[in-house]
């Protein structure tokens, strides 16, 4: 390496919505970005849930700097009041943005390590004067070492879903039952996937928006001609209350409120039964090979045909092992950000504005942004990520006044634990509730009386 540090690019890890927005802001500041995407195309992770509709509108999922970069191409944002699917978001916004950025975006490029040139994490001397070195492996087998003036990690958490085990570790037998377990909301438009779940009994483990989406999708399948006999068993570690289904009419994102109502309809119509206070300890098999879930209190459920585990996501920090990060011991989020996003205290809309200072680490010049910045907290919205990268890029450009001027208004209340709403007719908003009672076993089929609970949800997934 011979170029001065200031002439080196800022490496952006991940070509998702926030990573590409970071690149757009860097271009706007006259700083060269280099976006490294492990997948085969921009928005690769988003494309894996292309069948899911967001609960945010087009007006809330595009970045102003990105729109400015796209404008000369004739690009026009779709109707800002409509809701894109993941596929829409990728095809109509992320890919055109990546195309404009051109060779500043590399796909099939997996980052395997980040460090300071000539310095491991132990060495202090001359550390901040050294550029970053980024190790990359390409899908064609090539390996490369790149140098950078800064690193913005927007790689998200999609590749590291949580396990079925109630203690955060895989349940005993979970890996052995991998042929019957999925960790994503299934795309029931795919005939092969549809056949896997149609007429079968499926356990859904989780309490966030992704679990709601799966429950609603399985209920739609049960209502269809080819889905007779489809049944969901909803596994919850907590008890059941009005808040279980989110914010309803009080949610300022109507589709987010409708998502909880779709899950409630699945329950009320008898398409889903629930077991509460159930912390999965083991996945066993019956004589026919069907999974049997076992709780840490010894309870054994009846066999199911399939298991869908939707227990959230966690950040992959393995390739940052030589970087000095300051992370909260619980959430694995930056220390200053963690108390602002604690799911025990905050929903999407109650997270205060934050920027480069809250995202700072002991290693200057490194920032975790987007969903990855939230660690294990589930309350992230795209708008938050866009404001994060605006502030971070301003700081990297030396414009501290702009970087410190963080302004963000988020829609309040509701459920913020997962992807979004399936392409199904919109439900009408209804009232939600607040925090859950002590765990108990509840037979579903009767209404949950959510209409008698206080309006406005508060608890995280």
Kindly state the average pLDDT of the residues 394-398. Answer: 97
Question: pLDDT-based confidence at 56, cuts 50/70/90?
Answer: confident
**Token pair listed for 371:** 């969903």
- Of 231, 235, 233, nearest to 197 by C-alpha is 231
**Position 136 pLDDT exceeds 60:** yes
Which pLDDT score, from 0 to 100, does residue 440 have?
32
Question: pLDDT-based confidence at 255, cuts 50/70/90?
Answer: low
Residues 397 and 72 sit within 8 Å (Cβ to Cβ): no
Query: What tens digit of pLDDT does each residue of 75-86 get?
Result: 999 999 999 999
Check residue 365 and report its DSSP letter: T
**Position 425 pLDDT exceeds 90:** no
Question: pLDDT-based confidence at 173, cuts 50/70/90?
Answer: very high
Task: Supply angle C-alpha 111, 113, 118, rounded to 5.
Answer: 135
Question: pLDDT-based confidence at 359, cuts 50/70/90?
Answer: very high
Residues 42 and 68 sit within 8 Å (Cβ to Cβ): no
Rounded distance between C-alpha atoms, residue 260 and residue 245, angstroms: 4
Residues 315 and 432 sit within 8 Å (Cβ to Cβ): no
Q: Return all residues near 292 (Cβ < 8 A) that are at least 6 apart.
A: 283, 284, 285, 286, 300, 301, 302, 303, 304
Residues 416 and 458 sit within 8 Å (Cβ to Cβ): no
Give percent of the chain with pLDDT exceeding 90: 74
Which pLDDT score, from 0 to 100, does residue 2 have?
60
Check residue 70 and report its DSSP letter: H
Question: pLDDT-based confidence at 455, cuts 50/70/90?
Answer: very low
Kindly state the average pLDDT of the residues 335-364. Answer: 87
Q: What pTM was estimated for this model as a whole?
A: 0.85
- Of 181, 248, 258, 194, nearest to 220 by C-alpha is 194
Mean pLDDT of the chain: 86
């Amino acid at each position: 390496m011979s170029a001065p540090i200031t002439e080196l690019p800022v490496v952006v890890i991940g070509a998702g919505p926030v990573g590409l927005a970071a690149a757009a802001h860097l271009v706007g500041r006259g700083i060269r970005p280099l976006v490294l995407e492990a997948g085969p195309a921009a928005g690769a992770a988003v494309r894996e849930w292309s069948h899911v509709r967001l609960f945010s509108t087009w007006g809330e999922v595009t970045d102003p700097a990105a729109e400015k970069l796209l404008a000369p191409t004739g690009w026009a944002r779709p109707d800002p009041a409509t809701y894109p699917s993941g596929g829409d978001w990728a095809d109509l916004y992320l890919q055109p943005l990546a195309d404009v950025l051109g060779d500043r975006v590399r796909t099939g490029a997996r980052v395997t390590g980040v460090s300071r040139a000539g310095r491991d994490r132990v060495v202090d001397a001359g550390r901040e004067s050294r550029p970053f070195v980024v190790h990359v492996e390409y899908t064609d087998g090539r390996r490369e070492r790149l140098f950078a003036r800064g690193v913005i990690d927007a790689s998200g958490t999609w590749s590291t879903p949580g396990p079925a085990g109630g203690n955060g570790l895989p349940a005993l037998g979970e890996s052995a039952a991998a042929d019957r377990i999925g960790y994503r909301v299934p795309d029931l438009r795919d005939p092969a996937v549809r056949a896997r779940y149609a007429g079968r009994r499926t356990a859904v483990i989780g309490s966030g928006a992704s679990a709601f989406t799966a429950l609603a999708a399985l209920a739609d399948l049960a209502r269809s001609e080819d889905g007779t006999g489809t049944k969901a068993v909803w596994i919850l570690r907590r008890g059941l209350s009005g808040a279980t289904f989110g914010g309803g009419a009080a949610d300022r994102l109507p589709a987010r409120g409708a998502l909880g109502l779709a899950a409630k309809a699945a329950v009320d119509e008898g398409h889903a039964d629930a077991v509460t206070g159930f912390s999965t300890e083991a996945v066993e098999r019956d004589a026919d090979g069907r999974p049997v879930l076992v709780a840490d209190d010894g309870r054994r459920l009846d066999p199911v045909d399939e298991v869908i585990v939707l227990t959230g996501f966690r950040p992959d920090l393995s390739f940052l092992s030589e970087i000095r990060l300051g992370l909260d011991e619980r959430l694995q989020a930056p220390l200053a950000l963690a108390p602002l996003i604690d799911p025990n205290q905050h929903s999407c809309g109650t997270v205060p504005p934050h920027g480069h200072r809250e995202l700072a680490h002991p290693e200057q010049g490194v920032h975790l942004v987007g969903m990855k910045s939230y660690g294990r907290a589930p309350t992230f919205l795209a708008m938050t990520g866009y404001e994060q990268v605006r502030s971070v890029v301003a700081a990297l450009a030396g414009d501290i006044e702009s970087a410190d001027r963080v302004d963000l208004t988020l829609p309040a209340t509701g459920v913020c634990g997962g992807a979004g709403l399936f392409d199904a007719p919109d439900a009408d908003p209804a009232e939600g509730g607040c925090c859950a009672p002590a765990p108990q076993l509840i037979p579903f089929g009767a209404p949950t009386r959510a209409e008698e609970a206080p309006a406005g949800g508060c608890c995280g997934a």
